[in-house]
């Protein structure tokens, strides 16, 4: 009797086991399909900077440049140029004494080396640098890494490290406001790669753009830059780079190589 009773149980157990195996296999296949679908629908990794930069409520006040407002090139340790550099605006050096490359470089303006004008310009540069670096806003926008391809509207921008314009051009859009001001605080270096451009849109003015650079700035070959560069250390222009604005270095040198610089 035990044998008779056990046979149906064994058969039932085998049947249930087979059903269980089939169910587990089906669930495994379904899970694999769901996981593959999830991977396909995963969003792309976020870029370093948002595609749309928030519009800020307040328009910053201009950074007061004092006597350095008429100077195109200002350096601390030296000024050097190779090739056909062309500067429109004054050039000043303090406390350094070494200026080289003029001629063949052309200066349409006045050169000041360790005179009263150069000394005062350096003091005013220090005040302007500290002013720009100390600005705050409740809706300040943080930037990082490469900012090529972005469009910035009036306001205050901050980077806690380096900034680069490398994968596209950077646009400043004043939105039709002739008084629009842009201040970019950079904790470390600023660089542009070859051929990159800063573009002005909506009535933006180079004289209303201020780059406060915590270390040094380097502008790549044939790049086109706009604004006042307030660098703690040095400023270097690679061959053919151009600037509409001012290149002002507090402690280091300004190095040029066949560049066009127009004070604005």
Q: With CA atoms as reference, report the closest residue to 32 among 40, 22, 21.
A: 40
CA quadruple 203, 258, 63, 162: dihedral sign: positive
Asked if 182 and 154 touch (Cβ cutoff 8 Å), the reply is yes
Which pLDDT band holds residue 205 (cuts at 50, 70, 90)?
very high
**171 burial level (CB within 10 Å; 0-12, 13-18, 19+):** middle
Phi and psi, residue 137, nearest 5° = -160, 145
Question: What are 155's two structure tokens?
Answer: 């306001």
- Nearest 5°: the CA angle 89, 123, 106 is 20
* pLDDT tens-digit readout, 220-242: 999 999 999 999 999 999 999 99
Q: pTM value?
A: 0.81
Which pLDDT band holds residue 51 (cuts at 50, 70, 90)?
low
- Nearest 5°: the CA angle 164, 238, 204 is 55
* pLDDT tens-digit readout, 88-102: 999 999 999 999 999
SS3 content of the chain, % helix, strand, coil (to 5): 25, 35, 40
Half-sphere exposure of 170 (CA within 13 A, CB side): 26
pLDDT higher for 6 or 219? Answer: 219
């Amino acid at each position: 009797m035990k044998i008779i009773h056990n046979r149906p149980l064994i058969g039932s157990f085998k049947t249930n086991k087979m059903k269980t195996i089939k169910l587990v296999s089906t669930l495994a296949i379904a899970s694999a399909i769901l996981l593959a679908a999830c991977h396909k629908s995963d969003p792309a990794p976020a870029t370093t900077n948002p595609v749309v930069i928030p519009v800020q409520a307040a328009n910053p006040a201009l950074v007061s440049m004092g006597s350095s407002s008429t100077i195109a090139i200002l350096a601390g340790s030296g000024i050097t140029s190779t090739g056909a550099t062309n500067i429109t605006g004054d050039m000043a050096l303090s406390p350094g004494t070494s200026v080289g490359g003029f001629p063949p470089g052309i200066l349409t303006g006045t050169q000041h080396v360790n005179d009263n004008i150069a000394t005062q310009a350096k003091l005013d540069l220090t005040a302007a640098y500290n002013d720009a670096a100390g600005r705050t806003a409740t809706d300040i926008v943080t930037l990082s890494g490469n900012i090529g391809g972005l469009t910035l509207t009036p306001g205050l921008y901050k980077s806690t490290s380096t900034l680069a314009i490398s994968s596209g051009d950077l646009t400043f859009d004043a939105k039709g406001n002739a008084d629009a001001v842009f201040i970019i605080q950079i904790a470390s270096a600023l660089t542009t790669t070859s051929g990159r451009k800063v573009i002005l849109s909506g009535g933006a003015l180079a004289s209303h753009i201020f780059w406060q650079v915590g270390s040094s700035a380097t502008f790549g070959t044939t790049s086109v830059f706009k604004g006042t560069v307030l660098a703690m250390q040095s400023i270097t222009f690679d061959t053919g780079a151009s600037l509409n604005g001012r290149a002002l270095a507090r402690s280091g040198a300004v190095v040029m190589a066949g560049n066009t610089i127009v004070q604005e």
